[in-house]
């Protein structure tokens, strides 16, 4: 179930559907959830920078597209996650949806809590100070 406040913030974008894919980061067992609009913006940036006769560029596009599935909310606001994505992401009954800048992440609750507790807070504060 996508939280009501997320659906409210997304407005009409929620009705257009989403793109779901496994995280690109090694060791992060979660799913990336993009609105169709944000997904298309990301793909357009990649498409604009890729040379179609460059093997590494084509492999990069394949890497980004691997496991991508379009999904929509049902009439009750539930997001049906395909089984082939649930198992590799380790999703069980309880999940956490983390809202980031241009996507959301769907985590198994226990794995999310472990990941957050492993973050070096001092390094994060140092990084944030360096960019702000």
Q: Are 61 and 50 in contact (CB under 8 A)?
A: yes
pLDDT at 23: 93
Q: How far apart are CA 33 and CA 99, in angstroms?
A: 9
pLDDT at 30: 95
The set of residues, in sequence order, having a beta carbon less than 8 Å from that of 98 and lying 6+ positions away, is 104, 105, 107, 112
For residue 104, give the H/E element and its range: strand 104-108
The set of residues, in sequence order, having a beta carbon less than 8 Å from that of 88 and lying 6+ positions away, is 22, 29
Q: Kindly report, residue by residue over 33-88, the tens digit of the pLDDT.
A: 999 999 999 989 888 888 888 899 889 999 999 999 999 888 888 888 998 999 88
Q: Domain spans of the chain? A: 4-131
pLDDT at 123: 94
Q: How far apart are CA 28 and CA 20, in angstroms?
A: 15
Q: What kind of fold does domain 4-131 have according to CATH?
A: Chemotaxis protein chec (3.40.1550)
pTM: 0.85
Q: How far apart are CA 57 and CA 47, in angstroms?
A: 9
pLDDT at 48: 87
For residue 117, give the H/E element and its range: helix 109-117
Please indicate whether residue 5 or residue 69 has the higher confidence score (pLDDT). 69
Averaged pLDDT for residues 103-114: 93
pLDDT at 41: 92
Give ∠ CA 73-40-27 in degrees, rounded to 5.
75
Please indicate whether residue 1 or residue 128 has the higher confidence score (pLDDT). 128
Cα distances (Å, whole numbers) of residue 2 to 9, 42, 54, 68, 110 = 11, 22, 39, 19, 18
pLDDT at 35: 92
Q: How far apart are CA 117 and CA 115, in angstroms?
A: 6
């Amino acid at each position: 179930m996508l939280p009501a406040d997320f659906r409210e913030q997304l407005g009409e974008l929620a009705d257009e559907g989403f793109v779901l894919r496994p995280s690109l980061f090694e060791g992060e067992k979660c799913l990336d959830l993009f609105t169709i609009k944000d997904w298309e913006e990301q793909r357009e940036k990649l498409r604009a920078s890729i040379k179609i006769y460059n093997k590494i560029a084509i492999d990069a596009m394949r890497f980004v597209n691997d496991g991508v599935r379009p999904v929509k909310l049902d009439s009750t606001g539930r997001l049906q996650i395909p089984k082939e994505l649930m198992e590799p992401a380790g999703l069980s009954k309880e999940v956490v949806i983390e809202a980031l800048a241009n996507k959301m992440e769907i985590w198994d609750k226990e794995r999310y809590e472990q990941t957050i507790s492993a973050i070096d807070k001092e390094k994060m504060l140092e990084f944030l100070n360096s960019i702000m």
